[in-house]
């Protein structure tokens, strides 16, 4: 990873927020079949804000670094702000990555979106697997 800028190298060598949240409010799991990267991103939400974000990534240095950067930046943000932060971070980081590493970062964004979607589904009473909670099924 010597061709990467210093801030990406720092997040690869010393990633922040590695691990999982055992009682996560949302988990996003994604993979890239072409390169074999697999990522899980966990969020804990309180009063509409992401109070904790962690990740587990099996992948290249770019995947680890971008997961670390994204989890750092979304902590403290509302869910909608986190989605906007991921887009802004995307523009910043992608300008420093070689084209073949771009899918590594889009994995982190996709995992965050899925974690937020899972949280919102739970809040709405919809099961994570896309089904409806029993109360919802009775309504229609």
Q: Is the pTM of this model over 0.75?
A: yes
Pick the CATH number of 6-124 from 3.50.50.60, 3.40.50.970, 3.40.190.80, 3.90.1010.10: 3.90.1010.10
> Does residue 2 carry a pLDDT above 80?
no
Residue 34's pLDDT band (boundaries 50, 70, 90)?
A: confident
Facing residues of 39 across strands?
30, 57
Asked if the model's pLDDT at residue 105 lies above 90, the reply is no
Residue 103: partners with Cβ closer than 8 Å, 6 or more residues away: 32, 34, 35, 37
Which of 57, 53, 34 shows the shortest CA–CA distance to 44?
Answer: 53
How much is the mean pLDDT over the chain?
Answer: 83
Report residue 127's pLDDT band, with 50, 70 and 90 as the boundaries: low
Q: Which residues are catalytic?
A: 35, 104
pLDDT in tens, 36-80: 889 999 999 999 999 999 999 898 888 888 889 899 999 999 999
CA 49 – CA 38 distance, rounded (Å)? 26
User: What CA–CA distances, in Å, run from 123 to 34, 106, 137?
Assistant: 34, 26, 16
Phi, psi of 32 (to 5 degrees): -125, 105
């Amino acid at each position: 990873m010597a061709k990467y800028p210093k801030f990406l190298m720092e997040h690869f060598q010393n990633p922040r927020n590695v691990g999982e949240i055992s009682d996560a409010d949302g988990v996003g799991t994604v993979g890239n079949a072409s390169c074999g990267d697999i990522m899980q991103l966990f969020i804990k939400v309180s009063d509409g804000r992401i109070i904790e974000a962690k990740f587990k990534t099996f992948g290249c240095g770019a995947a680890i670094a971008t997961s670390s950067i994204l989890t750092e930046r979304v902590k403290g943000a509302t869910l909608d702000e986190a989605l906007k932060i991921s887009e802004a971070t995307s523009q910043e980081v992608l300008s420093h990555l070689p084209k073949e590493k771009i899918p590594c970062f889009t994995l982190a964004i996709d995992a965050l979106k899925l974690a937020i979607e899972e949280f919102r589904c739970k809040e709405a009473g919809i099961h994570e697997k896309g089904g409806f909670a029993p109360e919802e099924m009775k309504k229609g």
